[in-house]
Amino acid sequence: MRTAEKTDPQAPAPHVADRHDLIRVHGARVNNLKDVSVEIPKRRLTVFTGVSGSGKSSLVFGTIAAESQRLINETYSAFVQGFMPTQARPEVDALDGLTTAIIVDQERMGANSRSTVGTATDANAMLRILFSRLGDPHIGPPNAYSFNVPSVTASGAITVERGGRTKAEKATFHRLGGMCPRCEGMGQVTDFDLSALYDGSRSLNEGALTIPGYSMDGWYGRIYRGCGFFDPDKPIGRYTKRELHDLLHREPTKIKVDGINLTYEGLLPKIQKSMLAKDVDALQPHIRAFVERAVTFTTCPECAGTRLSREARSSTIRGKNIADLCAMQISDLADWVRALDEPSVAPLLAGLRHLLDSFAEIGLGYLTLDRPAGTLSGGEAQRTRMIRHLGSSLTDVSYVFDEPTVGLHPHDIQRMNGLLLRLRDKGNTVLVVEHKPEMIEIADHVVDLGPGAGTAGGTVCFEGTVDGLRASGTRTGRHLDDRATLKAQVRRPTGTLEIRGASRHNLRDVDVDIPLGVLVVVTGVAGSGKSSLVHGSIPAGTGVVAVDQGAIRGSRRSNPATYTGLLDPIRKAFAKATGAKPALFSANSEGACPTCNGAGVTYTDLAMMAGVTTVCEECEGRRFQASVLEYRLGGRNISEVLAMSVAEAGEFFGAGAARTPAAHAILTRLADVGLGYLSLGQPLTTLSGGERQRLKLATHMAEKGGVYVLDEPTAGLHLADVAHLLGLLDRLVDAGKSVIVVEHHQAVMAHADWIIDLGPGAGHDGGRIVFEGTPADLVAARATLTGEHLAAYVGA
């Protein structure tokens, strides 16, 4: 018998706490935002769209996420805040309804060469505990399996108190670590070419050292002259064995020079600590060039690259040691752990299984735990950070993502969409900055910024549903349903680049002929071996210009003019026109305002409180001394020139009294990649990801080469900007260049003359060529995942 449902007429009104269902932003003015006010629904998936540089990241990361983190930091004691980075309050009138923000951005993982995928995700820590409990033979605690912990042995006298008397006894202490003693846990040993460190025919005082930064004019000169271990006026080639040992190998030794206590250390250990402790790719270009010239890296002969000591490698579980497990593909390792049934460590195994399954779920099952963290792409690093949040019990949290589809094949984007929706369905607010239509489509709410980039952007053009965006007529709305068409006719190659027996990482003896003189797109699911084929098999060097996904590094003093080298011809042009020194026209050199040291602002440090930034009263933010601003070129001073946009500066240096061909050439390249709106003096720290990517592309275009290799040039680009990029690639090919692009964007695939598709899967399921031919043939065959998605995209 069913009971009829009754409605209580006395039902209470909604609780007051249930009214806080919006994040409200009023009057945001961070970077280029123009008094932006917006209301974002909580517990929904909101996607922020707009052209690159329109202000999306300024609103999401610079305003909402930054203020959330600042407010959380303020809940700690003043003592704890003293150890935390201080954050100023974003320039916004009011922020209401904020929740705890968890930021998952595309910052590369630390460049420390000791960091691996396993150490960055706690997988290694769990495996070490597992081996310390089940390993046979048992060798010790978890640290005995860690390649970052050295073995230590010590002996000496200790004082023991017994029966009210003290007695000295001899004791020996031993701690077993897992670090390989030969390579110190690095997996590789280094061999130095001494001729690249110094010129043996010269003395130290004559500038014998050829190591970057080791000038005899600074501190190093004082240390080497005053140490007393060798004669600084004697040619190094005539040093005794003892003197040469002290110069190259001496352990850290306390010395006194001119009454100052200093530490002397041999050149080789000094270089090891200052240059080789970091990932080589993360070093500054001139230091990286020195390391590549002076240092040879070879696999450690003692540990065979595993980084582990003999004892750690001797302990096994079911015939596998910890190094074997870390070298397995994570999807295979998950199967191995699943087959392990040990009730004594059941909770540990359950946690490890969940962690490894999360890797596979997020599309990273092709990685290995021993993969150096610094070699992960920005997209892989972002998805690795996502793993710890997948099984989190937290709800009512704001997850903030920066283009989570970067580096993902259209097939993988569907999986990513599912993960974001699952985070939302647990009661979380998900904020996503994104350009891909596949992800915009799943949004509950869309905020479109624009209409242009830089000063032409910074306003909200649309708020609402995806269908509303489609009908809105905004730039994003108009391009949302853009579909590329296949070329009616493709270019004919002028030659081929032969690759034979490529076997780097997961490649399986790949033989392929890459056509030259055309636009070639290399595609395939994430982890299929695209980058390994292109970057690992195409011989780098003369004629090959490679543009990877490496982040642009620069401080708040760096700007497009300094990064591209544009400032040099500008300074010389000012010097030539005025008769002054070129150094006067640099805010980082002699022309800098003495009050703010050329920064344009002064910083007041308030300890654990947020520092205060104020415009310099002396130069009024112009960064230069008043006397420097009196010098003019074509009627403009250096501060006015740096305030120009790229397009305006292109006209200024292209003709008339200020005509400077070298500067005009660089400005033309910046305009070609769609950065005509960018200000020459805008700090690099305020540029968006897409703007940085194109700035780097413009810089590399200056290099002379016949083959351009680009790794995902559409990263960070709006749908409208992709067409601009395709035009640039066409101009390069029409100028006789060969362009090879690693790319997932279907518009770039459809525009290609030739496609090389790798797969069929990722990791050991990939590494093979599954298709070679024209885009039309790929669509017609539909034999691969790429073919299916491209056919759907072009409507075939």
Residues 515 and 429 in one domain: no
CA distance 57 to 530: 29
Q: Say which residue the tokens 């940085």 belong to.
A: 692
pLDDT at 1: 43
Lowest mean pLDDT among 129-143, 341-355, 441-455, 594-608: 594-608
Query: Is 291 part of a structural domain of the chain?
Result: yes
CA distance 630 to 468: 54
CA distance 430 to 57: 14
Q: What is the pLDDT of residues 505-533, one digit of tens each?
A: 889 999 999 999 999 999 998 888 898 89
Q: What is the pLDDT of residues 168-211, one digit of tens each?
A: 888 888 899 999 999 999 998 888 888 889 999 999 888 888 88
Query: Is 165 part of a structural domain of the chain?
Result: yes
* Cβ–Cβ < 8 Å for 791, 779: yes
CATH number at residue 590: 1.20.1580.10
Q: Percentage of residues in the chain with pLDDT exceeding 70?
A: 95
Query: Is 464 part of a structural domain of the chain?
Result: yes
CA distance 12 to 188: 70
For residue 316, give its domain range. 117-178+304-361
**Could you tell me where the DSSP H helices lie in 123-282?**
123-134, 219-226, 241-248, 267-274
CATH number at residue 281: 1.10.8.280
Q: Label residue 5 by pLDDT band (50, 70, 90).
A: very low
Q: What is the pLDDT of residues 13-51, one digit of tens each?
A: 778 877 789 999 999 999 899 999 999 999 999 999 999
CATH number at residue 104: 3.40.50.300
Residues 394 and 494 in one domain: no
What is the average pLDDT across 738-756? 94
CA distance 276 to 279: 7
pLDDT at 541: 63
DSSP code for 603: E
CA distance 283 to 275: 8
Domain boundary among 452, 479, 506: 479
C-alpha distances out from residue 199 to 83, 203, 236, 293, Å:
45, 8, 8, 15
Residues 475 and 486 in one domain: no
157 class by beta-carbon count within 10 Å (0-12 exposed, 13-18 middle, 19+ buried) = exposed
Residues 135 and 197 in one domain: no
In this prediction the pTM is 0.82
Residues 174 and 193 in one domain: no
pLDDT at 4: 46
CA distance 44 to 22: 10
Residues 580 and 681 in one domain: yes
| The one-letter amino acid at 352 | L
Residue 224: CB atoms within 10 A of its CB come to 21
Domain boundary among 640, 657, 686: 686
* Nearest residue to 323 via CA among 124, 593, 541: 124
pLDDT at 388: 79
DSSP code for 529: S
Domain boundary among 655, 686, 717: 686
Residues 332 and 435 in one domain: no
Alpha carbon distance, N-terminus to C-terminus of the chain:
57
Query: Is 728 part of a structural domain of the chain?
Result: yes
Residues 412 and 507 in one domain: no
CA distance 518 to 775: 13
Residues 68 and 148 in one domain: no
Lowest mean pLDDT among 394-398, 681-685, 701-705: 701-705
- φ, ψ of residue 459 to 5 degrees: the values are -125, 155
CA distance 383 to 493: 38
Query: Is 246 part of a structural domain of the chain?
Result: yes
Domain tally, the chain: 5
CA triple 431-119-351, angle to 5 deg: 75
* Cβ–Cβ < 8 Å for 316, 214: no
Query: Is 368 part of a structural domain of the chain?
Result: no
CA distance 329 to 318: 18
CA distance 313 to 303: 9
Please give, one letter per residue, the 3-state secondary structure of 27-91. Answer: EECCCCCCCEEEEEECCCEEEEECCCCCCHHHHHHHHHHHHHHHHHHCCCCHHHHCCCCCCCCCC
Query: Higher confidence at residue 287 or residue 123?
Result: 123
Residues 104 and 127 in one domain: no
Query: Is 71 part of a structural domain of the chain?
Result: yes
pLDDT at 485: 87
Task: Report whether the peptide linkage leading into residue 569 is cis, meaning its omega lies within 30 degrees of zero.
Answer: no
Q: What is the mean pLDDT of the chain?
A: 88
pLDDT at 76: 87
Residues 430 and 411 in one domain: yes
Q: What is the pLDDT of residues 443-483, one digit of tens each?
A: 999 999 999 988 899 999 999 999 999 999 899 999 888 88
Residues 570 and 434 in one domain: no
* Cβ–Cβ < 8 Å for 404, 432: yes
- φ, ψ of residue 631 to 5 degrees: the values are -80, 135
Query: Is 10 part of a structural domain of the chain?
Result: no
Exposure letters 317-350 (e unless 16+ CB within 10 A, then b): beeebbbebbbbbbbebbeebeeeeeeebeebbe
Exposure letters 668-680 (e unless 16+ CB within 10 A, then b): ebbbbbbbbbbbb
